[in-house]
């Protein structure tokens, strides 16, 4: 995968590999000591059915998508479900 600046990802739409639009990227969590990325924090779309989502949710209702699930970054961030 090509290098992409984080500032270019903010607000980008996140879609499941099955075509479900999950929401918009809010932030990315990481380990400050190692620099390892952990999760994409995704603000879910209002029309997203919570029963179709298998990702954990934080205390504010944002989806915690493991970075390892990212499959592609182009017009959308595509994640495996």
Classify residue 24: in a domain, yes or no. Answer: yes
Average pLDDT for consecutive 10-residue bins of the chain (81 residues)? Answer: 61 92 93 91 90 90 95 92 77
Classify residue 75: in a domain, yes or no. Answer: yes
Classify residue 5: in a domain, yes or no. Answer: no
Number of compact structural domains in the chain? 1
Classify residue 48: in a domain, yes or no. Answer: yes
Q: Pairing between strand 63-66 and 37-44?
A: antiparallel
Its domain, for residue 26, covers: 12-79
- Can you give the CATH number for the domain in which 51 is found? 2.30.30.240
| Per-residue model confidence (pLDDT) at position 2 | 54
pTM of the model: 0.84
CA distance 47 to 21: 9
Classify residue 50: in a domain, yes or no. Answer: yes
Classify residue 3: in a domain, yes or no. Answer: no
CB proximity list for 34: less than 8 A, separation 6 or greater: none
């Amino acid at each position: 995968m090509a290098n992409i600046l984080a500032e270019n990802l903010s607000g980008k739409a996140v879609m499941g590999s099955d075509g479900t639009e999950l929401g918009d990227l809010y932030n990315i969590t990481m380990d400050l000591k190692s620099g390892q990325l952990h999760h994409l924090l995704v603000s879910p779309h209002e029309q997203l059915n919570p029963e179709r989502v298998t990702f954990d949710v934080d205390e504010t209702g944002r989806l915690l998508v493991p970075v390892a699930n990212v499959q592609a970054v182009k017009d959308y961030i595509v994640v495996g479900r």
